[in-house]
Each structure stands twice: as structure tokens, then as C-alpha cells.
Structure 1
Amino acid sequence: MLATIYLSEDNPYFAIDDYGALYSKDMSTLYKVPPQNSEYIIPRTVTTIIEYALFGMQHLSALNIPNTVTSIGTRLIMYSKIPLITNEKGINLTQLSFLGYSQIKNFTVPKSVQVLKDSCFWRCYNMLSIDFEEGSELEIIESSAFGYCNFQQIIIPAPCKEIRKSAFNYQQKLKNISLPATIQKLYPDTFLNCQNIQYISLDDQCENYSLIDNVILQSADGLQTIYIVSTITSITITASMKTIGNSVLQGCDNLTTITVDPNNKYFSASNGILYDLKKTKSIAAVGGIVKAVVADSVTMIGPSCFAGCQKMPSITLGSKVVSIEFQAFTNAKKITTITFPATLKYIRGSAFYYATILRTVRFLGDSLETIGTLAFQGTRLSSITFGSNLKLIEHDSFNGIPLTSLTFHPDCPMQKIRYNTSYQTKLTKVSIPRAVKVIEYYAFYNIKSLVTIEFQGPANITEIQRNVFSNANITTLSLLNTLTSLSNLAFFGCTYLETLIFEEGMMLDSLGQSCFRECLNLVRVQLPSSISDLSPTTFIGCTKLQSIDIPSDNANYSSEQGIVYSKSGDRLIICPAGLSSATIKKTILVIGSNAFYGCSLLETITFEPGCRLETMEEGTFGGCTALVRVDLPTSLQVV
């Protein structure tokens, strides 16, 4: 972290004040305040503060912004611990966008602000109150402006015309909200995942929205339902209603009954679930639903349909369901088991995200093609088996869950395993389907229970990206000759790996940096003839490695007594980290960078008589902690 900024006194472009903060030469623009400062005052010369200027400040207890400031960049105090920010009276800011990811506890929006920008107060978890200066000119609150804040009430000032989608997303503690007569545009998702609002106040003069029985906020024409307060127990969808916001019904834990006016042309309902008119799509379940049975005519479980249904331990899907849409069961915290019909093809992103006690899923058929991003993250799934039609599993689908068994059909058409797919699960075996060509970064990272990796033949694997199998506990690894790219740190920290085999006929031309770093039990490795680019860091920290063997037909490298040289024999490339002694041949002119790096057991270095060594590049003996003395040859010219 930046501690001190130094600047020559004659610098023509920048200036530094007594607090060590960096400015433009005329002190009108603030660029950076050192994060360790416990004291700081913004000078009145400043008109512009750039983004991140006070990033990460841990010790400043308060900050006052002078009324000379007219422009402030985004995320001004991101990851700072400043609890209090005040604005000098008369400040002229028209937009506010800079307080996201901060630890402020309360804030008063200056009267000049017309727009609260997207994510303005995003994830300000400690913010307990928000006020608006008298005479506020606020017109628009953009998406996610107050996402994940924790204040319980808010009074929107009278000039405000529009509050956009997800403006209060996941405001779980918001209980009271007051809306002015000037409101012209709300959205069905404005209060997405705000499940605890108990009281809504709407100015009687508002022409665009109405409040029915003090519990249902809807458009004046009745076509849109924006929010239903959480205390309601039953509801009837009126004849004119056309749309209803995601999570509006699901957030009402006491709501157990829903009916639809027979004259409504858009909706139908039964057993606590709202559907489209023809019952082909389930739209939303009531928050108090306990046993959910989806109509057999349904082909789509709609977005957020059962999201946040906290009382539902049981769900039965109809036999015709083809897709489960985005966040359909997110935070459905009572469901433990679900059976998917034979018709199911698509499980969309976050479909079961943090359904925290979901342990068992079962597929009745073989039709599933796609699993979306974060689909099962936060669940308790221990095993899952896929059929022969699987084409895609998106990134982070099983990230961090206690999954011990992930079974693919060997003939499924999936060509890529996306990044973080099974990051830090508890798998013991990974069997890669035949069609897979690429395994993306961190796909199986840090699975310390993983002891077996196999590729179903005939395999098509061409690329294994960085950190894919880092920290696995495999003992044997056989890499297939279809492989053309093995990236940095791919098998880093596989401390139990004893046997590494490169299949005959391999076309792999390079090994990524630190690819097999700290594979502590490797003793001997034979590299393929195709290798043309070998990093000295490839086997760093392999403290038992005695020999790296290069086939005689390799065009670029050779090896002798386990040490790797250039083919011409005048450059030493890598010394295995398990050697206790090494001899530098007299033909060597250059010892390459990091050639002996991490050889912690190396005690002696001997140079052959007549040695012609001229150059030792950087890092040559770094980490050689047992090497006490090296008598360098007189031929050495460059170090």
C-alpha cells in the first residue's frame, strides 16, 4: 500500500501539500492522499477530485468536502474506513457517484444533486441513515444506488421523478419508504429483494401511482404492480394488472393465498403460484408457500419465481418443464431435494444460488444442455451426474460447495470447462469428457481431496489454463499428446505428485511459468521432444527433483546429469531443486536467469577447469539457502 508520495520541488506538473497528498500544480485537482494518513483536510483550492483519490484510507475519522468542489470521481473512498463524510453548505455537485464500498454510517445528500448515479452507495453495509438537504433538486435515482445498504427508512424528496430498476436491491432492513407526488417512473424491480418493507407512504397528489389499502403499490392505470408490503396475507390480481415485479410476492412471508380476477387477460393462479394466462410459465410464488406443486402444463420456471421462499421445503415440477430461469430458486433456504423432469434442457444463472440446504438433485432424463453461472453456488450438493447431451457448464456453477462427486457422460458434447467451475469443492476424482478441448483457469483449483485426474479417450484436450489443478493431491499425472498449451501454475502445489508422464507424440511446445512449482515429491521428469520454450520457474520448489531429462531429438534443449542446457551447450537453463551439488561445464558461457533459483539443498557449485563462463543473469542463486560459498571463475564478465 502507498505510504509516501515523493516529488521534486521543481516538478512543473504536480504539487504536494503538508499531508503528503498529490495535486495538480495549481492545486485544483486532487489525485491521491496517502492511505495511512490519520489527518487530512481538502484545501479550498480543489475543484476536482479524481476517482480512488482516498482509496483504502484506514485511519481517517472524518472528511469534509469544501463547497469549491464541483466534480468527484467514482469510488472515492472505496475500501476506506472513514465513517463520516460531510459537505460544506453551498456545495454545487449535480451528480453523486463516489461512496460505494465505503464504511460511512450516515450521509446527507447536498441540495444541488440531481442524480444519484448507478451504485452510488453500493454495498455501504454500515450506512444506517440517509437524508436529503432541504430544497433538494434530486430527479433520478439510478440502478443499485442503495444496493445492500442497511438503513431502515428513507424519505424521497419531492423533485424526484424516477427510481430505476434495482435501486434498493437487497435492502433487507428497509422497512419504511415515503414517495413524493412528483414520481413519474418506477419499475417492477425497483425494490427487488427488499422483502421487509412494512409501510409505504405515497403523496396523495401523485398522478402516476396509487397505493391500494396501504399495502399494494401499483401504477395508476393498474397495469403494473411495483411492491406489496410484507405483512399482507392474501391478494387478488385485478382485471387490469399486466405486470408484477420480481420478488414482490415471494418477499411476503405471510402471504399464502393468491387469486386472479376472471377478467384479467394476462395471469392465472393456483395453489399459491402465479402463472401466465395459459399456465406455460410460472411467474411467482407467494412468500408463505409451503408445498409447491407446479402445474403440469408449465414449460418455464420464470426468473425469481421461488426466490426467497423461506418456508418451502418441497417442490414438485411438472413433467413438461424445459427451462429453469435466472434466480428461480435463489435463497430458497428450506428446499433439500429436487427432481428434474426428462424434458429439462436449461438451468440458468443463479437458479439455486444459496439454496443453502439443497443436498440432492436428480435428473429423470438425458436432455439437460446448459447450466448457468453460479447455478448451484451456496448449496450443499454432494454429488451430481450429467447425461450425454450436456453442452455447457458456465463459470462458478459449483464454486465452493461440498461436492464430492461430479460425473460427466464420456460422450457429452461439452467442449470447454469454464473458469472456477468447481473451485474449492471436495471432489476426489475428475474425469474429463472426450469432447473437452479447453479447461479454463481455476476450474478445479484448491481441491485438496482430489487424487485422480483422467481424460476419457480418445481425448481432444488442447489447453489447460492457469491454476486449473493447483493444490490437488494427485500422485500420478499423464498428459495426453493432444495438449498444446499448459499455462502458468497449472499444477502448482500438487505436493503428492510422484509420477509425471508426457504421452509419446506430444506437440506441446512450452510449459507455463511455475507450472509444476512445489510438486514436492517429483524425483525425475522426462520432457517431450516438442518443448521449445522452457521457463526456469517451471519446477521451482520441487525439492526432491533430481533430474530433468530431455530426449536427444529435442531441437532446443539437452540435459546432462539432470541439468537442462541449451542445445548448443553454452547456456545453463535449469538445475533441479533436489540436487545438493552441481558442476558447471567448461563449455557454459551463460547461466540463465533463475537457473538455480529455489535450490535450497544445493551446498556446492564446482566450475570445471578451463571454465569460460562470461555471464550470470539475474536471480541465478536466489533461494539457495544451503549454499555458503561460490568461487567464481576469472572468465566471468557480467553479473
Structure 2
Amino acid sequence: MKIYLSIIVSFISVICKSQRMTVNQINYQMTGDHKAMVVKGSYSGNIIIPDKITFQDVTYVIEALGYDSFSGSHQLISVKLPESIRNIEGRAFEDCINLTSINFPKSLQRIENAAFFKCDQLKKVIIPENVELISPNAFSYCSSLQEISVDPKNKFYASKDGVLYDKTFKILIKVPDTKSEVNIADTVEKIFPSTFENCRFLSKIELPLSITDIPTFSFDNCKALKEFNIHQNIKTIGWDIFRNAENLEKFTVDPLNPNFSTEEGVLYDHEKTSLLKFPPAKEKFTIPATVKNIVTSAFNTSKNLKEIIIPETVEKINTWAFANCPVLTKITIMAKKPTYMSEAFQISRKITFYVPKETVEEYKKSNDSSWKNANYVGI
């Protein structure tokens, strides 16, 4: 009997916690004993969230903005949060393209994954003293963001020149999208994939010697960059780090770096056996005969690339290696048999490969769909 009673009580508790209610055109959901959070709705104009609501004679404290709660509310202009709010959950304000103003109360502790993703009109953010977690991509693609400031009393985060760091200045978390220059603290040891994301006005980025790893997508949409230097201490570089950096003309590598090298501005591993990244501003290129491997996304978003010659030494062309190359029309491959290729040419039109004329039939017979569905011209 006690077991059945426990099950019934638990079931009732689950029902109560999932109960939704609407008060003054704002949707809420119970989260616990006399507590609730704001949940998904279509919101517009200037919203004021109360610290408490009363529903069916019961009072609830509003502690959170739930996952996806305001997302897609294109007519939302401003939000005023009460001192009871502790958590802004993931994607809470995603794609609120006209949100210009929001206050973060002293009670706030967490700003989660992509909470303000693509809030195009948000210009300034002030992080209060009790925030203990900010997702690295919380403010990704906030195209008008100028400044992130932090209360000096905060124990976990700090800001300098409007840029967000952890308190120790060892982690660079977010550079606001509108920055045209940034002087990175020389104590920084780590950056995130979203740190420089969409910083389309930065023409120069100098990483301090204390940074050894550059993660995937690090400089996505950094359209003003024309040159990038790999200093002597860089050990790893993620794939597609300069996606949509369409004006990048060349890479340089410190001669003391034991891991990477350049030739004609193109980035390779130290032995030049793997081609890592092609500067998107280039129009024509012949891959050197030392190269055996073209890594994932090596030429991705090379929107100016028209012609490429791939030597017979290349043994593998990885996924998306030549994705989003809209004007690439002449692809010459010197290999006498089909090279291993995995969805390398993500191009909507049917591709024409120029190959040695004596190998055309062998290419056509290939079981690999990447080769089978193409046109061939013998050279």
C-alpha cells in the first residue's frame, strides 16, 4: 500500500510540475514548490516579467526563462527581468532580431547555450556580480553587439575593452561582433569556436604566444581578415577555422613552429603532406606534389576559386574539401586512378573533371558516387 501511495504522490508531483498557465499574456510552467519559469510564446513589444504570479489562488516565484521561451519573437523590443530570475536557459531569445534592451538582475546566475543567438539589435550587455556560468556561444551572431561589461564584484568573469574573459584572463570568451580591433591579453591560453565568430570588421588578429590550440570554426565570417599568422607555439588547428572569411589572402607561419608551414600563402602541416587551409581570396591554384591529403573543408567557402590542379600524389580528398566553391569550374586531377574521396565536392551542379585521357573510362567505372556522377574530359 505504501508503494502504491508513493507512486501516486510522485505521479501527482510530475503533473503539477508540468502544469502550464498564462497570466497577463505571458506563459509559465511550474518547476517546483511555488516556483515557475517563463515558457514558449509569441511575444512582442516591451515585456515586463514579474517576480511573482498568482494562479488559482497560489503564488509562484519566477526563477527562470525556459528553453526557447522567447525565440523567434521578431517583434520583441525590450524585456525587463525581476530580481528573482536565476537562469536564462538555452536559446531563450534566439532570433529575436529586434530586441534592443534587456537587463540582467543581480539574482542572475546562468546564461546558457545560444541564449541570445542572432539578437541583431542588441548593442550592450552588462553581466552582474552573481553570474557563475556564461555559455561561450551565448551571444553568437549578435551583429550589433559593441560591448560586454562585467561587474567588478563577479568572481568568475571579467571584461577589458568591452571583451569578455574569465576572471583569470586565461580564457577569452567573446569578442563583440562589431569590434574592428582587439588587443588580446597576453595571459590568454584558450579561445572557443565562437570567440571571434562573426567579427566581420576585424582586419587583424594577433594571438598571444600562450595560446597553443585554435578550435574549429574559430574565425567564421571574419570577412575583413586578409592575413593570419600562426605563431611558433600553435600545436593544433581545427578544421574550417576560416569559413566565410572570404577576403583572406594568405597565411604566414613562424619559422620556429614545428607543426605547420606555408607556401604561396596556403597552410600545410610541417612536411607539406596535408593541405590544411586555402586562403579563400585566391582564384587559381596548383597543389604541390608533396601533398597526399586534402583535409576536411580545406577549400570550403573559397568563393573566388575558379581553377584547381590536383597532383597524382594526392591519396585522399576529405569531406567538404571543396564545398561552397560556386565559381569552381575547372578541376584537373592528375591521378591515373580515382583518388579516395568522401563527398568532397558539395556543388549543386554536375561536376566536370579533367583527367588524363587514358584514365577516363576507369574514372567512369568507379563505385564511388563522387566519381560516378561526374562528367569527364580527357587531357
TM bucket normalised to smaller: 0.5 to 0.7
Number of the residue aligned with 1:57 = none
- Within the candidate set 362, 379, 387, 2:326 is matched to 379
Task: Tell me the percent identity.
Answer: 14
Alignment of 1:286-325 (within 5 A): 288-292=224-228, 301-309=237-245, 311-313=247-249, 316-320=265-269, 322=274, 324=276
Q: Which amino acid aligns with 2:342?
A: I
State the distance in 1 between where 2:293 and 2:356 align: 16
Number of the residue aligned with 2:342 = 393
TM superposition shift of 1:135:
3.7
- Within the candidate set 146, 152, 155, 1:204 is matched to 152
1:218–1:383 Cα change, 3 Å: same
Q: TM-score, normalised by structure 1?
A: 0.40
Matched residue SS, 2:153? coil
1:148–1:359 Cα change, 3 Å: farther
- Structure 1 unaligned blocks of 5 or more: 1-28, 30-46, 50-64, 68-84, 268-274, 413-429, 445-449, 454-639
State the distance in 2 between where 1:216 and 1:127 align: 28
Do 2:286 and 2:308's aligned partners in 1 also have CA atoms closer than 8 Å? Answer: yes
Matched length? 323
TM superposition shift of 1:180:
2.0
Q: What root-mean-square deviation, in Å, do the aligned CA atoms of Structure 1 and Structure 2 show?
A: 4.9
1:221–1:364 Cα change, 3 Å: farther
1:114 matched to 2:102? The reply is no
Number of the residue aligned with 1:246 = 193
1:139 matched to 2:87? The reply is yes
Number of the residue aligned with 2:256 = none
Q: Which amino acid aligns with 2:331?
A: I
TM superposition shift of 1:218:
0.3
TM superposition shift of 1:248:
3.2
Number of the residue aligned with 1:366 = 313
CA-to-aligned-CA distance 1:237-273 (integer Å, 9 cap, x gap): 4342111233534644443444455xx5434xxxxxx
CA-to-aligned-CA distance 1:350-379 (integer Å, 9 cap, x gap): x66555444444435633524325961373
Alignment of 1:64-143 (within 5 A): 66-67=22-23, 86-87=25-26, 92=30, 94=36, 98=40, 105=44, 108=47, 111=51, 112-117=62-67, 119-120=68-69, 124=72, 126-142=74-90
CA-to-aligned-CA distance 1:577-628 (integer Å, 9 cap, x gap): xxxxxxxxxxxxxxxxxxxxxxxxxxxxxxxxxxxxxxxxxxxxxxxxxxxx
Do 1:192 and 1:246's aligned partners in 2 also have CA atoms closer than 8 Å? Answer: no
- Within the candidate set 206, 219, 225, 2:166 is matched to 219
State the distance in 1 between where 2:74 and 2:324 align: 26
CA-to-aligned-CA distance 1:177-206 (integer Å, 9 cap, x gap): 232222112244433444542122322322
Q: Which amino acid aligns with 1:151?
A: N
Q: Which amino acid aligns with 1:114?
A: A
Q: TM-score, normalised by structure 2?
A: 0.63
Alignment of 1:169-184 (within 5 A): 169-184=117-132
State the distance in 2 between where 1:172 and 1:368 align: 44
**1 or 2, which has the higher helix percentage?**
2
TM superposition shift of 1:133:
4.2
Number of the residue aligned with 1:609 = none
Do 1:287 and 1:308's aligned partners in 2 also have CA atoms closer than 8 Å? Answer: yes
Number of the residue aligned with 2:175 = 228
State the distance in 1 between where 2:343 and 2:39 align: 32
Alignment of 1:393-542 (within 5 A): 393-394=342-343, 398-400=346-348, 402=349, 404-406=351-353, 432-436=364-368
1:266 matched to 2:222? The reply is no
CA-to-aligned-CA distance 1:73-98 (integer Å, 9 cap, x gap): xxxxxxxxxxxx9317x874645564
Matched residue SS, 2:145? coil
- Structure 2 unaligned blocks of 5 or more: 1-14, 52-61, 252-264
Q: Which amino acid aligns with 2:148?
A: I
Q: Which amino acid aligns with 1:266?
A: I
1:394–1:148 Cα change, 3 Å: farther
Do 2:172 and 2:188's aligned partners in 1 also have CA atoms closer than 8 Å? Answer: yes
State the distance in 2 between where 1:346 and 1:120 align: 43
Number of the residue aligned with 2:7 = none
1:405–1:164 Cα change, 3 Å: farther
